[in-house]
Amino acid sequence: MLGRLSPTFVNSRNIWCGGFVALAVGMGIFEYINRILHSQLGENLTLGIRKKLFSSMISKNIEWFDKKERAPGILSGMFQEDVSQLKGLTSQTYALILEATVCLLIGIALSFLNTWKMALVTRSVVPFLILGGMAEQIIFWNSVKNSTKQVKDNEDQLDPYDRANALLSDIIINYKTVISLGEKNVEFLLQKYQALLEEPKRIGIKQAHISGIIYGYSQCIRFLFVAFIFYLSSIFIFKYNDEPEDTYVGVYTLFIAAIGSGSLFSQLPSVSKSKQSANKIFEIIETHKKVKKDQRYGQVMNYQQKQIIQQGEIEFRNLSFKYPSRDKKVLNNFSLKIPMGCKVALVGHSGSGKSTIANLLLRLYDYEEGSILIDGNNLKDYDVKLLRNSIGYVMQEPLLFNISIKENIIYGNSEASDDQIKEVAEMANALQFIDDFSENQEHNPSKAFKLPQDQVMHEQQNEDQNIDTTILSQGFSKKCGLKGSLLSGGQKQRIAIARALIKDPKILILDEATSALDEQSQESFNIALEKAMIGRTSIVIAHRLSTIRNCDWICVLHHGKMVEQGTFQGLSDDEDSYFYKLKSGMEM
């Protein structure tokens, strides 16, 4: 059999086979290096993007987070899914595209060398191959546009997956409320979640039909191309007496060219998805750059910016404000001067604008009308980071992180010494119960109700060896649980006061919320408040008479306007005053 083959044939067979074996080995090594390099590049890129995205998100104004498309579930999903999608836009896909392009070009070049006539004719079919790939692209983009349009027409204007993620994060964050509202509520939420997933499922199936047809076309055209080459080669051999060997090599290289071009185009949809994710991510990073410099958290100060609050005198001058998402003003021409070290209570019905004043003082939102002065300087001239460092804020519902008590306290000042931590815990009337945690485990809710997750937290707590027991008791290493769930309401509030005090702020804002506390905790909390306010300018958003009594000045707000102000006694004596009526409805 071998004897009948011409030496030229054997020779070139050996050359080609040897060439392909060398190519196979080369490809193996190349692929290995290629994958390592590109996954390294990809990982570095995603790490860099995650860092950038995080730092730009964390420095956004609160109003940015107020929008429904910025729900926690959507934003955390972006860090996982969208950032990972970016890999498709960079190293891996581009490496494959490069590989496929090189494959295509080599195939074309070799086919021209061996059988140029046939190569020339078959080139006429290439546009159909490209059309297959392009059609996949067009269909993909149309489906993205349609689904976005469909969603935009919806009241929520959000991607269905994003809406499902937002709901999921809401449920997880508020899991206690969800479960406590009973099985019916859980069932309702489950149905709602399923309903939200129905829409993307429907869109996905519709998309699958269309892209199936297009993908089928692009695959079909590749094999039609192969059939066409075979047919054409037989014509060239028998009709035009072309050399069979040259034709064989030419046909083979054209196959490679066709396969190369096919894989090139099949990679493109993942590029499209990546582009979509890149748009989402860079929109956030880019808008960070557009935010006015003075509004950015942690912005390096320019020469005009005041460093820290020296005394703590506050003046609101004709301040008017409306939230960006609303047309109605929630503060109207509000003016008030609070001398240094004074305790001022803001009272008024729910929604009268008390917390809004705190929001503006902390520059969580920016006002356009009127001004706020601190120590006679415009609030906007202070560096935002340093300003917030000089103001202690205890929120209505203090939020603790699932870290130790000590870590929660130093969250306000990571450089605080153990002595300072102990001091502020004492001032906040928290030292006693913290110490009790180390001595008397009865206080530990995780012991009373041993849920599996509590047990894990308890074990973690025992593992924590970082606390210097000579100054701080082991109680400081107790984990607080998700949102402080392992502590009582009063304990959480006192730790929040300690956290505010660790910064030694000149100004203290207390959004007092004692309604959830029992009498003993309330008393403890009030003592803590009194101690905390000594020597600081304090604004108390008051809900209880017991706190107002000790304040130097009381301002009564109604629909964002100051309607009355005076001392507790002065306002209480006037039976016609707004405060008089308000007082009778207030808790003791």
Residue nearer to ligand ATP on the CB measure, 61 or 218: 61
Q: Which of 270, 299, 355, 474 binds ligand ATP (CB under 6 A)?
A: 355
Helix (H, G, I), strand (E, B) or coil at 353: coil
272 forms part of the interface with ligand ATP (CB under 6 A): no
Residue nearer to ligand ATP on the CB measure, 157 or 460: 157
Taking every pair of C-alpha atoms in the chain, what is the biggest distance, in angstroms? 124
What is d(CA 564, CA 581) in angstroms, rounded to the nearest whole number? 12
Contact range with ligand ATP by CB under 6 A, out of 301-309, 318-326, 405-413, 564-572: 318-326
352 forms part of the interface with ligand ATP (CB under 6 A): yes
Q: Least distance from C-beta 351 to ligand ATP, angstroms?
A: 4
Q: Which of 354, 363, 443, 499 binds ligand ATP (CB under 6 A)?
A: 354
585 forms part of the interface with ligand ATP (CB under 6 A): no
Helix (H, G, I), strand (E, B) or coil at 543: coil
Alpha helices in 332-451 (DSSP H): 354-361, 384-389, 405-409, 418-427, 431-439, 445-448
Q: Least distance from C-beta 311 to ligand ATP, angstroms?
A: 26
- Tokens in use for 216? 């089928």
Query: 480 near 444, Cβ under 8 Å?
Result: no
348 forms part of the interface with ligand ATP (CB under 6 A): yes
Site for ligand ATP in 175-204 (CB under 6 A): none
Residue nearer to ligand ATP on the CB measure, 354 or 422: 354
Contact range with ligand ATP by CB under 6 A, out of 177-185, 349-357, 380-388, 467-475: 349-357
Name the one residue in this structure whose structure tokens are 């101690």.
Answer: 531
66 forms part of the interface with ligand ATP (CB under 6 A): yes
Q: Are strands 537-541 and 343-348 parallel, antiparallel or unpaired?
A: parallel
Q: Which of 91, 253, 267, 356 binds ligand ATP (CB under 6 A)?
A: 356
The region, left, alpha or beta by phi > 0 then psi within -120 to 50, assigned to residue 482 is beta
| Burial (CB count within 10 angstroms: exposed 0-12, middle 13-18, buried 19+), residue 125 | middle
Select from 385, 383, 386, 332 the least CA-distant residue to 357.
332
Q: Which of 53, 232, 330, 424 binds ligand ATP (CB under 6 A)?
A: 330
Q: Least distance from C-beta 570 to ligand ATP, angstroms?
A: 22
Q: Which of 6, 180, 304, 325 binds ligand ATP (CB under 6 A)?
A: 325
Beta-sheet strands, E only, within 60-198: none
Q: Least distance from C-beta 563 to ligand ATP, angstroms?
A: 13
Name the one residue in this structure whose structure tokens are 């027991």.
Answer: 469
What is d(CA 403, CA 405) in angstroms, rounded to the nearest whole number? 7
353 forms part of the interface with ligand ATP (CB under 6 A): yes
Name the one residue in this structure whose structure tokens are 């869109």.
Answer: 203
Residue nearer to ligand ATP on the CB measure, 216 or 351: 351
Q: Least distance from C-beta 396 to ligand ATP, angstroms?
A: 6
Name the one residue in this structure whose structure tokens are 């910025």.
Answer: 70
Under the rule (CB under 6 A), what is the footprint of ligand ATP?
66, 323, 325-326, 330, 348, 350-356
